[in-house]
A and B are shown apart, each in its own frame.
Chain A
Amino acid sequence: MKNRLKVLRAERDWTQERLATELDVSRQTVNAIETEKYDPSLPLAFKIAATFGLHIEDIFLRGERT
């Protein structure tokens, strides 16, 4: 699943570590989601959306991994 996590994070000038702290996950998890090696669970996807003040579908896009 494609996602805009890296772009959204960059817009806020956040490090992966900072986002990981916000989401209560490891930096490794944030990196794995950004590089599309790992799709987050639905609760984590909701948490990500809430953190950025967006809807899930604004961050995660349908389609194959790049």
Chain B
Amino acid sequence: MTETNTPPNPAICSQGTQRDRTNLRRYQVSLLIWAVTLLAATFLIKMDRVTSEAAGIGLALLPSLLAFVPAMAFLRFLREADELQRLIQLQAMALALGAAFIVFPAVRLLESVGVAMATWRNDVVPMIVIITYMAGTIAGQRRYR
């Protein structure tokens, strides 16, 4: 009997089915388009390149409108995912949510007792969520590989 000895790859969903990989690729592409749009909109607004107020409002709302595409793509990925992949993603999201509940009040309370927070404090919670989600996914892939 021949065993399959695929080298473990801890990347997100690297070991899912072909359908999972296709859905994930759709999600990643839409996420990339959203990120580029967000960066472009931020750049244009900050550089004062917007010609009218209506164009400014449209530009400011564009990334939020486009965010529905990766959100829907991720929902599709989860709905159609292999059941073990779904469990791994669920555990990673639970970890990320837990981390947000730990960090968010800590940042607020430290600020209120006078601890000087850096100007990037508003980015701390989303960064922690993203990092713990990725770490949780990698840990899940390793646990069940």
> A residues touching B (Cβ–Cβ < 8 Å)?
9-10, 13-17, 20, 24-29, 31-32, 37-38, 40-41, 44
Q: Which of A15, A24, A32, A37 contacts B2 (CB 8 A)?
A: A15
Check A27–B83 contact: CB distance below 8 A: no
**Distance in Å: Cβ of A42 to nearest Cβ of chain B:** 11
B144 within 8 Å of A by Cβ? yes
Check A25–B84 contact: CB distance below 8 A: yes
Tell which of B15-23, B45-53, B65-73, B95-103 binds the partner. B15-23
**Distance in Å: Cβ of B5 to nearest Cβ of chain A:** 10
Check A25–B4 contact: CB distance below 8 A: no
Interface of B is mostly: loop
Interface size class of B (residues with CB under 8 A): 10 to 19
Name which residue of chain B comes closest to A18, CB basis.
Answer: B4
Check B3–A26 contact: CB distance below 8 A: no
B137 within 8 Å of A by Cβ? no
Q: Which of B52-84 contact A (CB under 8 A)?
A: 82-84
Q: Which of A16, A29, A41, A44 contacts B3 (CB 8 A)?
A: A16
B145 within 8 Å of A by Cβ? yes
Check B1–A26 contact: CB distance below 8 A: no
User: Roughly how many angstroms separate A13 CA and B84 CA in the complex, as a whole number?
Assistant: 24
User: Roughly how many angstroms separate A32 CA and B66 CA in the complex, as a whole number?
Assistant: 37
